């Protein structure tokens, strides 16, 4: 390719290449240039925002050099790529991450200092890229970091929402949602106005004969919307590899049609068309673990999937390879069922556009896709009404019917006497109205299906996907336990701890092979080391205490035990169990004598998390937490012994402050409901202990760090069903300790009792589906053990160090390597 450029031109290009900055002076020059030219400002009106913008632009220039090289190299070597399709990428801030990954933070710090800025203030100017709800979206972000750091040729594909997850305000104890307009100034994205795809909706299917007399389907008419690509560079840690995250934005198709309308005076309807088109990528659906079946959501899914596949196929066709080689060049991972339409769309492209036979096409499709399931909760499993499909995507529905027909025929052949099986596994649910079961479609359309922690992968194979294991055999199903990137979740969030670890493990190489942490174990008995360790934790707690003071005007004692539960608010995650436990503690303190109170270990109970705007019960939980806080925090009997804090607007950048400051974090879902959880890993990696149920990744964390280093309690997953059954048939009395809590709530101690009636009666009168009462006693007992153990600080710190030393397994690097080997069959590309 290079040879096609004549020598003199090539020379002109090469000698003028932008080399990025190599030292402080060169970086300073870049910043000043961006302030003065790109931003049209000067030293006289350069505020923190402008300084942030210029710093970000300087790093962006640097990233894009490596990005170009990485992309060129991937193209020249014609290597297989992995495409990660996710409706959510919860990236958080990019600047600190970019500086650390390219090892430019020290340069930036001293340069900004010389220019009159503090780097922490500059970092703090950036809006979070909050294009996700919770764990699923943050996992995608950790995966991008690992794929780049491990030099895998990988692209992420998603939607460029104009509004990410809403901002949460707490007003009078209630959650209020505020739109998150984050794009105001986003230096990290490159609009590619030349990379567009026209996407079709609605219309009808016409069958015709081709030249050979073969019947072909043509999908015609309907609405067309244009997808525009926006690229974000994804730098790897300590490697030039820089991958791409391509997000699609929707706009009205610029066709004759609009133009004519505009000219013929139909100004209003032309504007309306525009708005309708832009609506598709306007907003992220704010539901976590819940499917609401909205037409616009299905439109988002098809818009994003069709644009991404067009892009992927276009790239493949440039290589001029035969179609059967497609799966040697392309692996596509479906992040939950949200992108499952990609299976149907690729089949449609191959048979309707490229003229392949069904079987040949289907073999390519199934060899290309892998599907990751992230939940067993029935309310989260996507189903779409057949009628909606028929209307929006008529050709896709036909193809789904055919996929289902061939699938059911093969099942019938293998299980001729099992009529029931056919209706159980049918992709079409024969309900009223009929529904398309997206998880089943994803399984049938993929060569591998994985869960995200061992228990979860076992559960899907023995419950919701049991029949499919029978049909396809156990080999199609596998487990890949989730992981987290140690770059953001230790090095960036907890720089002092990272430095201490580096000083004992032989430098920062542990960030590339997290199992190196095991070297820490030899320092567990080293008093000086323990002291340094404890000082860092204390400093992190002081920082959080200051944050709490500045945002809520509540003073908390940094020497108290910080007990943290931050995650989306959901009944299955059981923040209600936590707050009931807090109330129980409060009632006990109230009953104590002054002497007894002196023996108590002081605690700060910290909550954070968003409720889906339509999830009324979750909002009640937030309200209760805040009301309990306003009673407890000003009760003079309690003083420092207990404070209850609800941190507003929990997000990635706040997690980076909260997680390093935790002594104890809560991961207390009803056993069998939390597929994995990933914040559990983040908390332990930052030297905090866990109180948790035998659920999700808690089980594997226990196996790795040792059961003496974790506070486990509660019902086991295999016993959950029986307990629920018993509740439904009346054998159910509320735990006596919990009853006292309910009495306090109903007496109006925490505000109008009516406000919390539903929270109480969910447990007392409506079957206690999440087993709050069943687990209450063992929760309280275990919290008591925590209090006792926290009093012995030397032992507590030793447990923390030992745990961190044993957390190597939970790096998302390990996780990505497993996907690469077991599912994607892809190799790193040497740099």
Residues within the interface to ligand GPW (CB under 6 A): 133-136, 139, 288-289, 336, 374-375, 380, 452, 482, 674-678, 696
**Would the CA dihedral through 820, 489, 693, 576 be positive or negative?**
negative
- For the question of residue 567 being annotated catalytic, the response is yes
Tell me if residue 319 falls in helix, strand or coil: coil
Query: Nearer Cβ to ligand GPW, position 375 or 693?
Result: 375
Q: Which of 573, 585, 727, 806 is catalytic?
A: 573
- For the question of residue 568 being annotated catalytic, the response is yes
- For the question of residue 573 being annotated catalytic, the response is yes
Buried b / exposed e along 171-189 (16+ C-beta atoms within 10 A):
eebebeeeebebbeebbbb
The enclosing H or E element of 614 equals: none
Query: Nearer Cβ to ligand GPW, position 288 or 704?
Result: 288
Q: Which of 374, 396, 537, 799 is catalytic?
A: 374
Query: Nearer Cβ to ligand GPW, position 27 or 161?
Result: 161
Residue 760 CA to residue 528 CA, distance in Å, equals 49
Q: Which of 338, 448, 456, 568 is catalytic?
A: 568
* Minimum CB distance to ligand GPW, residue 540 (Å): 24
Buried b / exposed e along 275-301 (16+ C-beta atoms within 10 A):
eebeebbbbbbbbbbbbeeeeebbbbb
Structure tokens at 176: 């209020």
Residue 741 CA to residue 747 CA, distance in Å, equals 10
* Minimum CB distance to ligand GPW, residue 89 (Å): 12
Residue 319 CA to residue 465 CA, distance in Å, equals 38
Q: Which of 682, 724, 764, 799 is catalytic?
A: 682
* Minimum CB distance to ligand GPW, residue 165 (Å): 11
From the number of C-beta atoms within 10 Å of its C-beta (0-12, 13-18, 19+), residue 9 rates as exposed
* Minimum CB distance to ligand GPW, residue 188 (Å): 23
Q: What is the CA radius of gyration of the chain?
A: 28
Query: Nearer Cβ to ligand GPW, position 28 or 288?
Result: 288
- CB-CB contact of 449 with 473 (8 Å): no
Edge-to-edge strand ranges of the sheet holding 603-608? 642-647, 603-608, 561-566, 664-667, 689-692, 711-712
SS (H, E, C) 377-393: CHHHCCEEEHHHHHHHC
* Minimum CB distance to ligand GPW, residue 132 (Å): 8
Edge-to-edge strand ranges of the sheet holding 448-451? 190-201, 223-235, 242-252, 154-159, 81-85, 330-335, 369-372, 448-451, 477-479
Query: Nearer Cβ to ligand GPW, position 665 or 773?
Result: 665
* Minimum CB distance to ligand GPW, residue 139 (Å): 4
Query: Nearer Cβ to ligand GPW, position 541 or 568?
Result: 568
Say if strands 689-692 and 711-712 run parallel, antiparallel, or are unpaired: parallel
- For the question of residue 623 being annotated catalytic, the response is no
Query: Nearer Cβ to ligand GPW, position 573 or 603?
Result: 573
Tokens 């986003």 belong to 186
Residue 711 CA to residue 684 CA, distance in Å, equals 12
- CB-CB contact of 548 with 554 (8 Å): yes
* Minimum CB distance to ligand GPW, residue 751 (Å): 31
* Minimum CB distance to ligand GPW, residue 69 (Å): 32
Tokens 């402008």 belong to 50
* Minimum CB distance to ligand GPW, residue 335 (Å): 8
* Minimum CB distance to ligand GPW, residue 233 (Å): 24
Tell me which DSSP letter residue 670 carries.
P
> Residues near 726 by Cβ (< 8 Å), separated by ≥ 6?
732
Query: Nearer Cβ to ligand GPW, position 226 or 335?
Result: 335
The enclosing H or E element of 309 equals: helix 295-318
Query: Nearer Cβ to ligand GPW, position 378 or 636?
Result: 378
SS (H, E, C) 744-801: HHHCCCCCCHHHHHHHHHHHHCCCCCCCHHHHHHHHHHHHHHHHHHHHCHHHHHHHHH
- For the question of residue 193 being annotated catalytic, the response is no
- For the question of residue 294 being annotated catalytic, the response is no
Tell me if residue 733 falls in helix, strand or coil: coil
Query: Nearer Cβ to ligand GPW, position 85 or 589?
Result: 85
Query: Nearer Cβ to ligand GPW, position 452 or 622?
Result: 452
Phi then psi for residue 246, to 5 deg, are -105, 120
* Minimum CB distance to ligand GPW, residue 91 (Å): 15
Q: Which of 456, 567, 610, 643 is catalytic?
A: 567
Phi then psi for residue 48, to 5 deg, are -60, -35
Distances (CA, A) of 153 to 57, 243, 550, 624, 827: 25, 7, 44, 48, 8
Distances (CA, A) of 197 to 158, 307, 316: 14, 6, 16
* Minimum CB distance to ligand GPW, residue 434 (Å): 23
Query: Nearer Cβ to ligand GPW, position 229 or 334?
Result: 334
Q: Which of 481, 678, 693, 782 is catalytic?
A: 678
Q: Which positions are catalytic?
A: 374, 567-568, 573, 678, 682
């Amino acid at each position: 390719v290079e040879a096609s450029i004549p020598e003199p031109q090539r020379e002109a290009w090469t000698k003028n290449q932008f080399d990025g900055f190599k030292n402080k002076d060169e970086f300073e020059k870049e910043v000043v240039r961006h302030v003065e030219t790109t931003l049209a400002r000067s030293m006289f009106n350069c505020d923190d925002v402008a300084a942030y913008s210029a710093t970000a632009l300087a790093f962006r220039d640097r990233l894009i050099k490596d990005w170009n090289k990485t992309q060129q190299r991937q193209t020249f070597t014609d290597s297989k790529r992995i495409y990660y399709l996710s409706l959510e990428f919860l990236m958080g801030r990019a600047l600190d991450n970019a500086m650390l990954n390219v090892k430019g933070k020290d340069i930036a710090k001293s340069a900004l200092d010389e220019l009159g800025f503090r780097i922490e203030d500059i970092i703090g100017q950036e809006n979070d890229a909050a294009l996700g709800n919770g764990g699923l979206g943050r996992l995608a972000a950790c995966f991008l970091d690992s794929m780049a750091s491990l030099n895998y040729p990988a692209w992420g594909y998603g939607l460029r929402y104009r509004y990410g997850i809403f901002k949460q305000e707490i007003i009078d104890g209630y959650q209020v949602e505020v739109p998150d307009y984050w794009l105001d100034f986003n230096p990290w994205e490159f609009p590619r106005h030349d990379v567009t795809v026209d996407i079709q909706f609605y219309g009808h299917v016409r069958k015709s004969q081709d030249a050979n007399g073969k019947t072909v389907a043509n999908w015609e008419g309907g609405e067309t919307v244009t997808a525009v690509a926006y690229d974000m560079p994804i730098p790897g840690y300590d490697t030039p590899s820089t991958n791409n995250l391509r997000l699609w934005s929707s706009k009205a198709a610029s066709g004759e049609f609009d133009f004519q309308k505009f000219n013929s005076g139909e100004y209003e309807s032309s504007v309306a068309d525009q708005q309708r088109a832009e609506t598709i990528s306007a907003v992220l659906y704010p539901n976590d673990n819940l499917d609401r079946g909205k037409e616009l959501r299905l439109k988002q899914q098809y818009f994003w999937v069709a644009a991404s596949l067009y892009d992927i196929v276009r790239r493949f066709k440039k290589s001029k390879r035969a179609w059967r080689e497609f799966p040697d060049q392309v692996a596509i991972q479906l992040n939950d069922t949200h992108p499952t339409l990609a299976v149907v769309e690729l089949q449609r492209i191959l048979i309707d556009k490229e003229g392949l036979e069904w079987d040949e096409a289907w073999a390519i499709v199934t060899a290309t896709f892998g599907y990751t399931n992230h939940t067993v909760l029935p309310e989260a499993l996507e189903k779409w009404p057949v009628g909606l499909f028929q209307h929006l995507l008529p050709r896709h529905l036909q193809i789904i019917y055919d996929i289902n027909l061939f699938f059911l025929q093969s099942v019938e052949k293998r299980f001729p006497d099992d009529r029931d099986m056919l209706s159980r596994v049918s992709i079409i649910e024969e309900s009223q109205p009929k529904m398309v079961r997206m998880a089943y479609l994803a399984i049938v359309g993929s060569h591998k299906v994985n869960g995200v922690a061992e228990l979860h992968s076992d559960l899907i194979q023995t419950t919701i996907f049991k029949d499919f294991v029978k049909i396809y055999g156990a080999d199609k199903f596998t487990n890949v336990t989730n992981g987290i990137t140690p770059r953001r979740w230790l090095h960036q969030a907890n720089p002092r701890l990272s430095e201490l670890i580096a000083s004992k493990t032989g430098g920062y190489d542990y960030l590339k092979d997290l199992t190196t942490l095991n070297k820490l174990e030899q320092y567990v008995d080293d008093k000086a080391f323990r002291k340094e360790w404890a000082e860092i934790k204390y400093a992190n707690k002081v920082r959080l205490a200051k944050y709490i003071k500045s945002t809520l005007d509540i003073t908390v004692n940094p020497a108290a035990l910080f007990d943290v539960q931050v995650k989306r608010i959901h009944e299955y995650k059981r923040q209600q169990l936590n707050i009931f436990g807090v109330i129980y503690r409060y009632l006990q303190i109230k009953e104590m004598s002054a002497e007894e109170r002196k023996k108590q270990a002081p605690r700060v109970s910290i909550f954070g998390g968003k409720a889906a705007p339509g999830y009324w019960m979750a909002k009640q939980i937030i309200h209760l937490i805040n009301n309990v806080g306003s009673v407890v925090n000003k009760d003079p009997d309690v003083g420092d012994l207990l404070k209850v804090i609800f941190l507003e607007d929990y997000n990635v950048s706040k997690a980076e402050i909260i997680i390093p400051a935790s002594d104890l974090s809560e991961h207390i879902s009803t056993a069998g409901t939390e597929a994995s959880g990933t914040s559990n890993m983040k908390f332990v990696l930052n030297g905090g202990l866990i109180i948790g149920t035998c659920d999700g990744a808690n089980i594997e964390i226990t196996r790795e760090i040792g059961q003496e280093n974790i506070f486990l309690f509660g019902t086991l997953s295999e016993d959950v069903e029986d307990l629920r059954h018993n509740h439904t048939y009346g054998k159910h009395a509320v735990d006596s300790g919990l009853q006292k809590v309910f009495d306090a709530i109903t007496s109006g101690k925490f505000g109008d009792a009516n406000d919390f009636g539903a929270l109480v009666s969910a447990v007392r009168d409506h079957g206690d589906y999440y087993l709050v009462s069943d687990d209450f006693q063992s929760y309280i007992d275990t919290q008591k053990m925590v209090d006792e153990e926290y009093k012995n600080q030397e032992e507590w710190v030793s447990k923390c160090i030992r745990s961190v030393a044993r957390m190597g397994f939970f790096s998302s690097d390990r996780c990505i390597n497993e996907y690469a080997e077991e599912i994607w069959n892809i190799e790193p590309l040497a740099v």
